[in-house]
Amino acid sequence: EAQVTQNPRYLITVTGKKLTVTCSQNMNHEYMSWYRQDPGLGLRQIYYSMNVEVTDKGDVPEGYKVSRKEKRNFPLILESPSPNQTSLYFCASSSPLVGSDTQYFGPGTRLTVL
Amino acid sequence: QKEVEQDPGPLSVPEGAIVSLNCTYSNSAFQYFMWYRQYSRKGPELLMYTYSSGNKEDGRFTAQVDKSSKYISLFIRDSQPSDSATYLCAMSVDRGAGSYQLTFGKGTKLSVIP
């Protein structure tokens, strides 16, 4: 089954404690991205990657890091989380072969930073 | 003026009604237009995708794009309780080199009452 998986699905942490949210896709997609979704603000792109070892900033990259060492994985790293990073996070992937805009989203990770 | 405007609702309709969801945009460079559906506690899923002005139909769903007015719509015929979800419009522009920028509306929450 074609899918994007994220782990963990729910996470409560404290300010300053480094954390990583993993994302994996099994569709051999080149393009992967991370979004955060906040009430009243909608979905906003954090980072994206066009292929292995190629990443770039989205609209709200501050406080986040990413890496793309393998095609299937695109982890999101919060080196020193702060309360304003409490949000619902989505990973997405797509392939230009099927239209670069037809993104497939993961189930989401709800992060709370105390 | 925000790039993409979408009325957040909520919108409540009786089962069987025709639903009209709309977005306006200001960036004339947007090339691709999408509608995503997001059920509670799930990631968005692509519903409709089009790149030209006019109508595109898929079952009970019709996507309409009017580039001259910078206005897109999604119509749902014979609405069902299972259509209850948040509907997000999205638009993208090619940034070149295989990259594109995707901008989402904030979503309209729809409830279809049996």
pLDDT digits (tens, 9 = 90+) for B15-48: 999 999 999 999 998 888 999 999 998 999 989 8
Reply yes or no on whether the pLDDT at B95 is more than 90: no
Distances (CA, A) of A113 to A45, A91, B7: 20, 19, 30
Euclidean distance between CA atoms B7 and A15, whole angstroms: 34
pLDDT for res B97:
67
Strands B45-50, B32-38: parallel, antiparallel or unpaired by DSSP?
Answer: antiparallel
Chain B residues inside the 8 Å CB shell of A96: 98
What is residue B69's three-state secondary structure? coil
Reply yes or no on whether the pLDDT at A100 is more than 60: no
Reply yes or no on whether the pLDDT at B1 is more than 70: no
Contact B44 A43 (CB under 8 A): yes
Q: Return the half-sphere exposure (C-beta side, CA atoms, 13 A cut-off) of residue B55.
A: 8
Euclidean distance between CA atoms B13 and A113, whole angstroms: 37
Q: Residue B43 is nearest to which of A40, A101, A106, comparing CB atoms? A: A106
pLDDT for res A101:
57
Residues with Cβ within 8 Å of B47's Cβ and at least 6 positions away in sequence, in order, are B34, B35, B36, B37, B61, B74, B87
Euclidean distance between CA atoms B33 and B22, whole angstroms: 12
Q: How far is residue B10 CA from its own chain's centroid?
A: 15
pLDDT digits (tens, 9 = 90+) for A53-94: 999 999 899 999 999 999 999 999 999 999 999 999 999 998
How much of chain A exceeds pLDDT 70, in percent? 95
Question: Which residue, among B102, B104, B108, would best test binding to A if mutated, counting the most A CBs under 10 Å from its CB?
Answer: B102
Top-confidence residue, B3 or B85: B85
